[in-house]
Structures are given as C-alpha cells and as structure tokens.
Structure 1
Amino acid sequence: MLLAFDVGNSNIVLGVFKDNELITHWRMATDNAKSADEIGIFVNQLFAYENLSLKDVDDVIISSVVPHVMYSLQHMSSKYCEREAIVIGPGIKTGMNIKYDNPRQVGADRIVNAVAGFKKFGGPIIIVDFGTATTFCAINEKCEYLGGAILPGIKISSDALFQRAAKLTHVELVKPDKVICKNTTQSIQAGIIYGYVGSVDYLVAKMKEELGGGDIKVIATGGLATLISTESDSIDHVERFLTLEGLNFIYHMNRTKK
C-alpha cells in the first residue's frame, strides 16, 4: 500500500492506495506544533478504524506547502511505517517541464495537480484548486507547466470581510437562491459565493485567451470545488482527489529510486 500526504495550509489530506486504487482517505487540520508521535498515533487510529495496518504500508509520499510540518511527517514515516518518505521537490521525477521563471517557487501541490490533470485529460488544460488560496495553473499539450494565477481563497476572503466590518457576522457558505437578497445573511452569502464564481470565470477566460483558445478543459479540485463549480460556466470537471492521484502517479515514476 501507498500512504500519500497532501499537506495544505489549512488541512492535511491523507490517502491510501492499493493496486493504484484509492481505497480510503481522511482529512485532518494542519498543525505545525504536532510531533511525529502525535501524528503517528492519530494515523494509526485512522488505519485501525478501516481495519488497515501501518505495517502494510510499502511506501510514503508527501506533497507539502508547509515546511514546518515536514520534519514531523518524515520522522513519523520512518518510525511508524519504517519507510523513508518520498517528498515532492527538486530531484523528483514528474514528467512535467516547468516553464516558471524560477521552478523552485512553484508549490508542490500545483505540480502534483498538473501531473494528475495531464495524465487524466491531456492538454491543454487549466486546473483550479480551491484551497486556502485558489490557484489557477495552465498546462499545454506538450506537458509543459506554463504558470498561472493565485487568488485569496474564499474562506480567507470571507474572514477578512468579517474581521474588518464590525456589524457583519460570520455566515455559512451556502448559496442563496437570488443575488438580490432581502436580509444581511443572504446578502453576504450572495456576494461571497456568486462574486467568487465571477472571479473564477473571468480568470479562466483570460487564461484561455492567452493559451490561444480552442478546446481547453478546466478541472477543479479542492475542498470548495463543488460549491463553486455548480454555478461556474467555465469548470468542466471536478476531481476531488486530484492531488492524491497525482502523488500516486509520481510515486510510480520514482519508486525505483529508493
């Protein structure tokens, strides 16, 4: 079995692959203060709940945008899985040609998504990942990562509104039926959600224009992908576990390097 970690600023998503199939997955809060033992014991409990054993893990692979978590995760892998984790970064084979000015500045999750998106859909494609930040990535038909855009995530945007506007309170992120709303709660919901949909569609349209138009698929992933995609005119597919699938693909490219 392969244990894959997708470490984001807000959450860590864990997935277990067996024979290239994602057999189970979990989500936990990202906590820089957790030790390797705390993480190991927690993951062991998750495995036990699914009648799995850490002893059956053949390899561990990690994609992370949070450097402070890496020591604990790598130590956890060594102690509890008895495996040296594969970490997405320089020296790891991805099959993707990075056209960024400085390839080291591209987040590991963006590269992993790009690999999975191209593997599943070919190119050109645009991948929109709705995480703490929302990232837009363009990949051409030659499997070249061209770059993209970064937008504050929908939760960051809404939190900023509530912190700065004293009379506005937190609301649940659900879609109201209308944009012209008759109460403050729904007015906030309409502004946040439909306004965000508009931002996504505009950025995607600009990226398609810069890519030269044509048949360009748009893939959405991340925790809020479904919420936005149901209203968006630009999103073609929602792939909830795109990053985990990308980690599985990259693992198989690199497993002979252990």
Structure 2
Amino acid sequence: MLLAIDAGNTNVVFAVYDGSRQLGLWRISTLENRTSDEYAVWLTHLLKLRSIRPLDIAGAIIASVVPTATWQLRRLCREHFNCDPLVVGAPNVDLGIEVKLDQPNEVGADRIVNAVGAQLRFPPPLIVIDFGTATTFDVVDDDGAYAGGVIAPGINLSLDALFMAAAKLPKVEIEPVQQIIGTGTVSAMKSGIFWGYIGLIEGLVARIKAEYGERSRKPMTVVGTGGLSKIFHRQTAAIDHTDGDTTLRGLVTIYERNKR
C-alpha cells in the first residue's frame, strides 16, 4: 500500500492507496511545531479503524509547501512506517513533466503535482485552479509541460484579513449568494467575497486564454480543484470541470513512475 501526503499551508492530507484504489483519506491542520510522533498517534489510530496496519504501508510520497512539516513527515514515514518517502522536488525524483520556467525550483510542489494529475483526466492545454490558502492558476501547455501561472490570495485568507483589519466587520463563511446587493453587513460581505472571486476567476481565466491563445489554436480546458472548488462549481462558465482528486492522483502517478 502507498501512503500519499499532501502538506499545504492550512491542512495536511493523508491518503492510503492499494494500487489506484483509495482506501482512506484524512486531513489534519498544519502546525509547524507538530512532531512526527504526534502525526503517528493520530494517523495510526485512523488507519486501525480501516483495518490498515503500519506494516501494510510499503511506500510513501510527500508533496509539501511547508519546510518544517516536510522534515517531520519524512521522519514519520521512516520511523513509524519503515519506508523512505519520495519527496516531490527532490533531485532524485522524476516528475515526468517538463517545467518551462527560468527557475523551476521556485515552483511549489503542489502546483507541479496538480499539473501532473489534471492531465491524466483532461487533455492539455489546461488551466488548473487550486482553491487553497492561495488561489493558484496553473497552465499546462499543449505538450503537457508546466508553463507557469498566477498566484492570488485565497478566499479564507481574504476573509480573515477583512475581519482582522476592520473592527466593525464580523467573521463570515463563504457561500454562494444570488443577490449582488447586500441588505446588511453580513450579506454585503458574503456578496463581495463570492462575486468578487467569481470576477477574479473569470477575469484571470479570460486573460490567460487570450495570452496563451497566441501560442496555440487549441481551446484550453479549465479544471477547479481544492476544498473550496465546489463552492464555485456551476456558478461560473469559466470553470469547465471540478476534480477534487487532482493532487492525490498526481502523487500516486509520480510514485508509480519512480517505482518503475
């Protein structure tokens, strides 16, 4: 069995696979001071509920944008699952995708993994929008290579900043709203965040397509992923598909490629 770990700025996601079949999926908040032993106590208990033993884990792969978490997660795999994990971005890991950037090492591991995972379901060229702590727009070109993208503040990050900076504004949850003009503070904030991000999505997608269209005559497919992607599903024509398994599918594929 394979343990796939996606460590983001907000959550760390753990998934166990038997071949291509997912046996379990769990997430825990990202804390820089969380130790490998703390991860182990939490994770082994959840594995036991699915009748999965630590000895059943034969390999592991990690994609992480949090360096302190990476070190602890590698230690978790070595000490509690007796396997040396592949780490996306390490020199010895073959990603199976060309990164057409001036400084390839600057690209977050999650963005590369998304580019790998998305084109397993959708033919390039692609725009992959990942709604996480940051909202990223990543371009996969006609040849299936990573060609760059855009990074914008995430939805919850924007909400937190608004709440912290404005004394009289309450903390609200993001959800689809149909009425643009709010009749109260809360409804006005929900409208601003939701429709503001719709505008962000539609504006950036249109500009990316216009710029990329100079290089290719193929139409670009837009794929939304990440936990908040469902909020915008079918709310805008700019997103063609949503796919919550993009990152994990990419991790499994990269692991299998290196295993071979």
Fold equivalence (TM over 0.5) = yes
Letter in 2 for 1:148: G
Q: CA deviation at 1:140?
A: 1.0
Distance 1:196 1:176 in 2: 12
Q: Which residue of 2 aligns with 1:76?
A: 76
Distance 1:117 1:127 in 2: 7
Distance 2:198 2:233 in 1: 8
1:40-119 superposed matches below 5 A: 40-89=40-89, 90-119=91-120
Secondary structure in structure 2 of the residue aligned to 1:13: strand
Q: Which residue of 2 aligns with 1:220?
A: 224
Q: Which residue of 1 aligns with 2:178?
A: 177
Q: Which residue of 1 aligns with 2:253?
A: 249
1:157-172 superposed matches below 5 A: 157-172=158-173
Secondary structure in structure 2 of the residue aligned to 1:92: coil
Q: CA deviation at 1:119?
A: 2.0
* 1:234 counterpart = 2:235: no
1:141-152 superposed matches below 5 A: 141-152=142-153
Distance 2:255 2:184 in 1: 50
Distance 1:176 1:38 in 2: 40
Q: Which residue of 1 aligns with 2:131?
A: 130
Letter in 2 for 1:252: E
Q: Structure 1 residues 225-234 or 184-193, which shifts more?
A: 225-234
Letter in 2 for 1:119: L
Distance 1:118 1:173 in 2: 29
Paired-residue identity, %: 38
Q: Deviations over 1:127-165 (max 9, x none)?
A: 000000011100112111110000000011111111111
Distance 2:156 2:191 in 1: 14
8 A contact 2:176–2:232 mirrored in 1: no
Distance 1:177 1:117 in 2: 30
Q: CA deviation at 1:232?
A: 2.0
Q: CA deviation at 1:226?
A: 0.6
Letter in 2 for 1:217: T
Distance 2:195 2:101 in 1: 31
Distance 1:19 1:96 in 2: 21
Secondary structure in structure 2 of the residue aligned to 1:82: coil
The runs of at least 4 consecutive aligned structure 1 residues that moved more than 2 Å come to: none
Q: What's the C-alpha RMSD, in Å, of the aligned pairs? A: 1.1
Q: CA deviation at 1:175?
A: 2.2
Letter in 1 for 2:45: Q
TM-score by length of 1: 0.96
8 A contact 2:128–2:223 mirrored in 1: yes
Distance 2:155 2:46 in 1: 29
Distance 1:9 1:83 in 2: 25
User: Which consecutive residues of structure 2, in runs of 5 or more, have no partner in the other structure?
Assistant: none
Letter in 1 for 2:69: V
Q: CA deviation at 1:169?
A: 0.6
State the aligned residue count.
256
Letter in 2 for 1:124: P
Q: Which residue of 1 aligns with 2:24?
A: 24
User: Which consecutive residues of structure 1, in runs of 5 or more, have no partner in the other structure?
Assistant: none
Letter in 2 for 1:76: L
